[in-house]
């Protein structure tokens, strides 16, 4: 059924810390690696070694600049993937029922054997979370690594989405937003977790933790705070080397 | 939005076809036998041809039958169900008309209602999308339905009525553009809300996630159409309405006059439908700094 559940028992999702993300794309690569070899059709690349490579990815990292009046510009790396919305328009527009939201944990999934590849779900998603796979002709999207988080065959510490597991900076957190005591709920409450495009009325589950305000560095026009410590220091040497140095300088 | 020929042909031709079927169902034509067959043939050719075209862009068209399942929630599914119902009822009506020379008025009226429902569902597929503010307005179904009525009247040789309906359609199309131009701003999404960073200052894209293109850019960030929008609007208005209305009002009614009016309307319909897709902006373009709407 492509009607949405009234409510879900759990609300699994990600809290993504924009203050921490360094834009290394490790999550993109690990996502592609895991999801190309596990649940569903592989994430294909077209013309991978040619002039115009294009491929399916479930996670993309943008880099933005934020500049406010009188302050230095700030760089923010911004991972973009499915937000597993509570009011997911991608589910209700689907004509076949291939696109659905799970009652038990709120994960939005595509049943690929029912997907006709009409693309309407991608049209309805404000976040660009869905991409048609050009080899299989079916819609691909983040599964929240459903084949990792419930997988009894892998070690406990690996039972989280591939992007979270691999992030070297610890910018990505996985948990249940329905539980106020969960890591992600606490983080989001503490840091003012943001919804993306709330005006679209999708009620996303994932939260983005805003960059912390940068400390104002008092400068007298010279932004390089380390400069005083790096000024060349005259080496004072005595003895023969010092005499030789002076003698050679004099020639 | 990428103006795919399959969706342009689908919405244009099926709209015309269901429009003609609607007028045939209302029994406006006092003909029978082979002439009736010719009208029905054109109507079914356009509506079925348009529906077939819509399957060309599917990734897995062999599973198209599954699309009839979710009529409770999906406008696309409803459209499929309504189309099959309309074609079935009108098929029975046309068969009785052609072969038995019998006009079952109740059946024709039901068929006409179903034709109306089908085109309304087609329009709602686009009008429901909040992500594409230009389409997400009440004028979208009004526009699709006026094209349907005007095209149907024109094809069913109701020339005086067609002239009035074509004039209305032209005004509706102009209104759709005027209101559509404001919709992106009204929807309130910008790069600040898309990233959540708007409160911290002015946001701009510093680096794209990928150096090449991808599905999102080729499907949602078509920019060529926006560049020529004004020219195409002018051509569209002349071809949809001005030429046909002038012909039907001032030229003596004949097959030749009607044929030129139909041809002109068809050219206008296809070019404005191309523009309907090509100039529509999807909010996902905000993440790629592709929003080029008048600031």
Q: What secondary structure does DSSP assign to B97-115, as a single string? A: HHHH----HHHHHHHHHHH
Q: How far is B74 from chain A (nearest CA, A)?
A: 5
Task: Enumerate residue ranges in chain B where pLDDT < 50.
Answer: 294-295
Between the alpha carbon of residue B233 and those of residues A218, B78, B138, B241, B278, the distances in Å are 56, 31, 20, 12, 12
pLDDT value at position B295? 38
pLDDT value at position A39? 87
DSSP string, A93-155: T-SSS-EEE-TTT--EEE-TTT-----HHHHH-TT---EE-TTT-SEE---TTHHHHT-TTS-
Q: Which of A9-13, A125-129, A236-240, B173-177 has the lowest mean pLDDT?
A: A236-240
Cα–Cα distance, B187 to B291 (Å, whole number): 13
The residues, any chain, with a CB within 8 Å of residue B36's CB and separated by 6 or more, are B29, B94, B97, B98
A217 has pLDDT over 60: no
Q: With beta carbons under 8 A apart, name residues in chain B contacting A52.
A: 212-213
Mean pLDDT across the stretch A229-243? 71
C-alpha closest to that of A21 among A74, A72, A69, A71? A74
CB contact at 8 A, A123 and B132 = yes
CB contact at 8 A, B115 and B25 = yes
Confidence of residue A229 (pLDDT cuts 50, 70, 90): confident
Q: With beta carbons under 8 A apart, name residues in chain B contacting A19.
A: none
Between the alpha carbon of residue A37 and those of residues A158, A199, B233, the distances in Å are 16, 36, 48
A30 has pLDDT over 70: yes
Cα–Cα distance, B262 to B96 (Å, whole number): 28
CB contact at 8 A, A2 and B74 = yes
Confidence of residue A3 (pLDDT cuts 50, 70, 90): confident
Mean pLDDT across the stretch A162-176? 97
Name the residue with tokens 């559509």: B180
Task: Tell me what percent of chain A is helix, strand and coil, each rounded to the nearest 5.
Answer: 25, 20, 55
Q: Is B88's Cβ below 8 Å from some Cβ in A?
A: no
A203 has pLDDT over 60: yes
A239 has pLDDT over 90: no
Residue among A63, A138, A210 whose CB faces B206 most closely: A63
The full set of domain ranges for chain A reads: 12-209
pLDDT value at position B70? 93
Cα–Cα distance, B33 to B26 (Å, whole number): 17
Taking an 8 Å cut-off on Cβ atoms, the answer to whether B201 and A131 are in contact is: no
Between the alpha carbon of residue B46 and those of residues A14, A18, A28, A182, the distances in Å are 48, 53, 46, 57
Taking an 8 Å cut-off on Cβ atoms, the answer to whether B73 and A1 are in contact is: yes
CB contact at 8 A, A149 and A12 = yes
Q: Tell me the HSE value of B229 on the side-chain side, using a 13 A CA sphere.
A: 19
CB contact at 8 A, A146 and A39 = yes
pLDDT in tens, A41-91: 999 999 999 999 999 999 999 999 999 888 889 999 999 999 999 999 999
Give the 3-state secondary structure of residue A17: strand
Q: Is B227's Cβ below 8 Å from some Cβ in A?
A: no
Token pair of B139 as six digits: 């004028």
The topology (CATH level 3) of A12-209 is: Alpha-Beta Plaits (3.30.70)
pLDDT in tens, A188-199: 999 999 999 999
Mean pLDDT across the stretch A96-117? 96
In this structure, the strands spanning A54-55 and A45-46 are: antiparallel
Cα–Cα distance, A66 to A16 (Å, whole number): 18
Torsions phi, psi of A184, nearest 5? -70, -35
More confident residue, B66 or A237: B66
pLDDT value at position A234? 64
């Amino acid at each position: 059924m492509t009607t949405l559940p009234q409510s879900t028992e759990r609300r699994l999702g990600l809290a993504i810390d924009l203050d921490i993300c360094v834009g290394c794309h490790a999550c993109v690569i690990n996502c592609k690696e895991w999801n190309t070899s596990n649940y569903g059709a592989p994430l294909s690349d077209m013309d991978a070694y040619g002039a115009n490579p294009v491929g399916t990815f479930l996670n993309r990292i943008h880099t933005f600049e934020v500049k406010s009046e009188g302050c230095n510009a700030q760089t923010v790396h911004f991972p973009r993937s499915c937000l597993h919305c509570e009011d997911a328009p991608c589910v209700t527009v689907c004509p076949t029922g291939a696109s659905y939201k799970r009652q038990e944990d709120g994960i939005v999934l595509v049943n690929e054997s029912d997907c006709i590849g009409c693309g309407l779900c991608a049209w309805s998603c404000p976040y660009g979370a869905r991409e048609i796979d050009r080899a299989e002709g079916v819609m691909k999207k983040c599964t929240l690594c459903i084949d990792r988080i419930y997988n009894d065959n892998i070690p406990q510490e690996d039972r989280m989405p591939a992007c979270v597991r691999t992030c070297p900076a610890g910018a990505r957190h996985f948990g249940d937003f329905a539980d106020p005591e969960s890591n992600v709920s606490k983080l989001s409450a503490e840091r003012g977790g943001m919804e993306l495009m709330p005006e679209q009325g999708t009620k996303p589950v994932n939260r983005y933790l805003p960059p912390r305000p940068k400390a104002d560095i008092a400068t007298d026009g010279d932004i390089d705070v380390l400069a005083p410590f790096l000024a060349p220091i005259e080496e004072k040497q005595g003895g023969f080397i010092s005499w030789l140095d002076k003698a050679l300088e004099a020639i | 939005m990428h103006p795919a020929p399959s969706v342009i042909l689908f919405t244009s031709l099926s709209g015309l076809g269901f429009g003609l079927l609607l007028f045939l169902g209302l029994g406006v034509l006092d003909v029978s036998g082979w002439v009736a067959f010719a009208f029905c043939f054109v109507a079914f050719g356009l509506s079925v041809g348009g529906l077939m075209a819509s399957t060309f862009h599917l990734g897995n068209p062999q599973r198209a039958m599954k699309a009839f399942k979710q009529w409770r929630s999906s406008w696309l599914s409803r459209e499929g169900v309504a189309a099959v119902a309309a074609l079935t009822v009108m098929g029975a009506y046309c068969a009785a008309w052609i072969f038995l020379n019998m006009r079952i008025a109740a059946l024709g009226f039901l068929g006409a209602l179903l034709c109306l429902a089908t085109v309304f569902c087609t329009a709602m597929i686009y009008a429901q999308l909040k992500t594409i503010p230009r389409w997400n307005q009440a004028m979208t179904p009004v526009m699709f339905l006026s094209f349907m009525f005007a095209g149907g009247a024109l094809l069913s040789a109701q020339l005086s009525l067609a002239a009035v309906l074509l004039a209305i359609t032209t005004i509706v199309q102009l209104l759709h553009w005027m209101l559509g131009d404001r919709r992106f701003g009204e929807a309130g999404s910008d790069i600040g809300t898309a990233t959540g960073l708007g409160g911290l200052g002015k946001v701009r894209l510093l680096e794209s996630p990928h150096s090449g293109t991808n599905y999102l850019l080729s499907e949602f960030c078509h920019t060529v159409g926006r560049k020529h929008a004004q020219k195409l609007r002018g051509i569209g208005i002349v071809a949809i309405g001005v030429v046909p209305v002038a012909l039907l009002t001032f030229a003596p009614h004949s097959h030749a006059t009607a044929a030129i009016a139909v041809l002109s309307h068809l050219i206008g319909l296809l070019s404005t439908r191309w523009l309907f897709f090509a100039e529509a902006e999807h909010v996902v373009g905000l993440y790629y700094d592709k929003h080029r709407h008048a600031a």
